[in-house]
Amino acid sequence: MVDFDPVSFLETAVQTPSHESVDEMRTLLVETLESEGVEATVDDAGNVLAERIGDEDGPHIVLNTHIDTVPPHVPFARDGGRIRGRGSCDAKGPLAALLDALLAVEPNRGRVTLAVTPDEETDSTGAAALDFLSSNGGRGESEMPPDGVIVGEPTGLDVCNAARGRFQGTVTIRGENAHAAHPEAGVNAIRGLSPVLTALSTFDSDREHPELGAPTLTPTTVSGGTATNQIPANCSFVIDRRSVPPEGAEEFRRSLESHLRDAVSGSVEVDVSLAERETPFLEAFDTPADSTVVRTLRDASGGDVRPFGAATEASYFAAVAPTVVFGPGVLSDDNGAVAHGPREYVDVDEVRAAADAVERTLRTLVR
């Protein structure tokens, strides 16, 4: 297993598009693992799973990231010590580092599981289906709940122990239709927008998390009315919520609906609904900075302990075990977007440094 080169793997991975289908990238990952002597399986949800198990009891450490990427595909290029292309930092660079660490460390005790999901950028059905994250986990050895999780994302080698969550919902204002020539005969739902938007700006305005700061609540799209000569009976707008612990999605919905209803007159009705999705929303998480996985990875990487700047599947793992987000690359730099942008890149030195940090962390925890 000493021959594995994370940078060579990354170059091949970035040249393997996975913005429309992950099939080819998943095959590459499975074949790479098996060529290095590690058995890999693909479960019914499309997750790639591989384990290395020690002879003695010990902690279960999970290494997680994803193989899907956002569109459009950005072609691979090598610019000296920099690899460019879609997925180079989000998250095939982190995958290369995690894979290198898994192959380098044979546990004496406990186990290391690599769990690579297929749809983090969309609905997270893969992560939601992992046995060791479900309430029915622990039925067999391979389903043991984790004791610590490292989620691969571009953090610039910092150890991110917290992140905001993301909820999406719709605020609907209901009035009553009438002819526009006699507006007093109806209840104009669009006129209800003004007090509702004002109230939106005062919702939990004094709330603050010590690491993540204040939550945000942003209206993003709006629609209303069906005819230009009719008083509109309905008006709605979509909201984007970036939450902080310990807020849950349904708690947020109830609280916001009550707040908005208190702000409008009795002539209009206000409802708040959450977007429909097959999987749970990505909720905020906060792993204590003195947790073993945080301290060990911090010491190995030399990075700062700080919050992560985006919602990730770390939310699911943090519900059952101390979880950190870590990896090479950055979400953005001084020139603008990197991850999800047209100039996505990762530096080779960071990929190797991330692999070394995770390897040293595993050697501390399972050797």
What are 276-306's pLDDT values in tens digits? 999 999 999 999 999 999 999 999 999 999 9
Catalytic residues, by residue number, are 68, 120
For the cut 50, the answer to whether the pLDDT of residue 80 exceeds it is yes
CATH 3.40.630.10 residue spans of the chain: 6-163+284-366
The pTM assigned to this predicted structure is: 0.90
What pLDDT does residue 143 have?
64
The answer, yes or no, to whether residue 206 has pLDDT greater than 90, is no
pLDDT for the residue 2: 52
Q: Which pLDDT score is estimated for 367?
A: 84
Q: What is the CATH number of domain 165-274?
A: 3.30.70.360
Least confident of 152-161, 206-215, 320-329: 206-215
Q: What is the pLDDT of residues 154-171, one digit of tens each?
A: 999 999 999 999 999 999
Per-residue pLDDT band for 317 (boundaries 50, 70, 90) equals very high
Cα distances from 24 to residues 16, 96, 128, 304, 315, in angstroms, run 7, 16, 22, 35, 27
Question: Which listed CATH number (3.90.1150.10, 3.40.630.10, 3.50.50.60, 3.65.10.10) goes with 6-163+284-366?
Answer: 3.40.630.10
Nearest partner of 74 among 153, 21, 15, 7, judged by Cα: 15
In single-letter form, the type of residue at position 296 comes to: T
If you average pLDDT over residues 259-272, what whole number do you get?
91
Whether 88 and 176 have beta carbons less than 8 Å apart is answered as no
Q: How many residues would you count in the chain?
A: 367
pLDDT for 267: 85
pLDDT band at 58 (very low <50, low <70, confident <90, very high): very high
pLDDT for the residue numbered 141: 40
Confidence check: pLDDT of 323 > 50:
yes
For position 140, what pLDDT does the model report? 38
pLDDT band, residue 137 (cuts 50/70/90): very low
Statement: residue 136 has pLDDT above 80: no
Select from 166, 172, 193, 146 the least CA-distant residue to 284.
166
Q: What is the pLDDT of residue 1?
A: 46
| Mean pLDDT, range 336-353, rounded to an integer | 97
User: Which pair of structure tokens corresponds to residue 180?
Assistant: 């526009």
Which of 10, 53, 153, 38 has the alpha carbon at shortest distance from 362? 53
- Note the pLDDT of residue 139: 33
Q: Considering the chain, what percentage of its residues have pLDDT values greater than 90?
A: 89
Mean pLDDT of 327-331: 98
Summary mean pLDDT of the chain? 94
pLDDT, tens digit (0-9, with 9 covering 90-100), for 24-47: 999 999 999 999 999 999 999 999
Dihedral of alpha carbons 326, 322, 282, 219, sign: negative
